[in-house]
């Protein structure tokens, strides 16, 4: 049989089959509680992470994420399968964050939810925390139209076309906005770094 054996082909056969999210959506529409719970498990964490970056406040982000997932389940019948489901969910999260920001725009928080590697040295942890804090500060200083495209593209990995559809903008506008947002973020980050080292 030779030295190769069956290892390679067997490994391929043992890869898990891709999850059919559309089947869970269809089942949830039929009232299947386990399917609805699966959708919540899949999307609650990324929605919370997105809301936290949009609102920069842990309590507001928890409220917005919870409200988002309630809206997702309540409006599941409005989802169109030609959209990626996560893109549709982020659209609801974005609108919820805008509403939350309007309601609580005067509230500010410096709560830190960064998870650090405890095996790193105290110096490395401090450096990482300072860099993360500068990045958060720079993101908060960005105009909202720049902040949201960066979050959607870099943090949530949406494609240019998906962002254009989500924000109802021309593709070229989205690409230009991301380019300008990156430049502005870099400038703000460098300014904060220079201020910290002064």
Tokens of 55: 């609102």
- Whether 179 and 148 map to the same domain: the answer is yes
* Residue-number span of the structural domain to which 66 is assigned: 18-111
Assessment of whether the complete model's pTM goes beyond 0.75? no
Burial 106-122 (b: 16+ CB within 10 A, else e): eeeeeeeeeeeeeeeee
Give how far Cα 171 sits from Cα of 80, 85, 148, 154, 174, Å. Answer: 21, 20, 15, 16, 5
- Whether 68 and 84 map to the same domain: the answer is yes
- Is 100 domain-assigned? yes
Q: Kindly report, residue by residue over 100-157, the tens digit of the pLDDT.
A: 877 765 444 434 444 444 455 555 655 666 677 777 788 888 888 888 898 888 888 8
Q: Kindly report, residue by residue over 62-97, the tens digit of the pLDDT.
A: 999 999 999 999 999 999 888 889 989 999 999 998
Distance CA 29, CA 76 (A): 7
């Amino acid at each position: 049989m030779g030295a190769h054996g069956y290892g390679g082909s067997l490994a391929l056969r043992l890869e898990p089959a891709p999850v059919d999210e559309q089947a869970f959506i269809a089942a949830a529409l039929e009232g299947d509680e386990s399917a609805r719970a699966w959708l919540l498990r899949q999307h609650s964490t990324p929605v919370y992470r997105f809301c936290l970056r949009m609102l920069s406040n842990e309590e507001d982000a928890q409220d917005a994420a919870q409200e988002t997932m309630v809206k997702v389940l309540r409006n599941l019948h409005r989802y169109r399968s030609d959209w990626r489901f996560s893109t549709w969910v982020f659209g609801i999260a974005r609108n919820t964050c805008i509403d939350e920001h309007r309601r609580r725009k005067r509230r500010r928080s410096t709560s830190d939810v960064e998870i650090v590697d405890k095996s790193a040295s105290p110096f490395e942890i401090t450096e990482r925390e300072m860099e993360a804090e500068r990045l958060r500060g720079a993101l908060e200083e960005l105009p909202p139209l720049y902040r949201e495209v960066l979050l959607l593209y870099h943090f949530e990995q949406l494609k240019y076309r998906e962002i254009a559809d989500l924000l109802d903008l021309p593709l070229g506008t989205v690409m230009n906005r991301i380019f300008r947002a990156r430049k502005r973020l870099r400038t703000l980050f460098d300014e904060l770094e220079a201020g910290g080292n002064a």
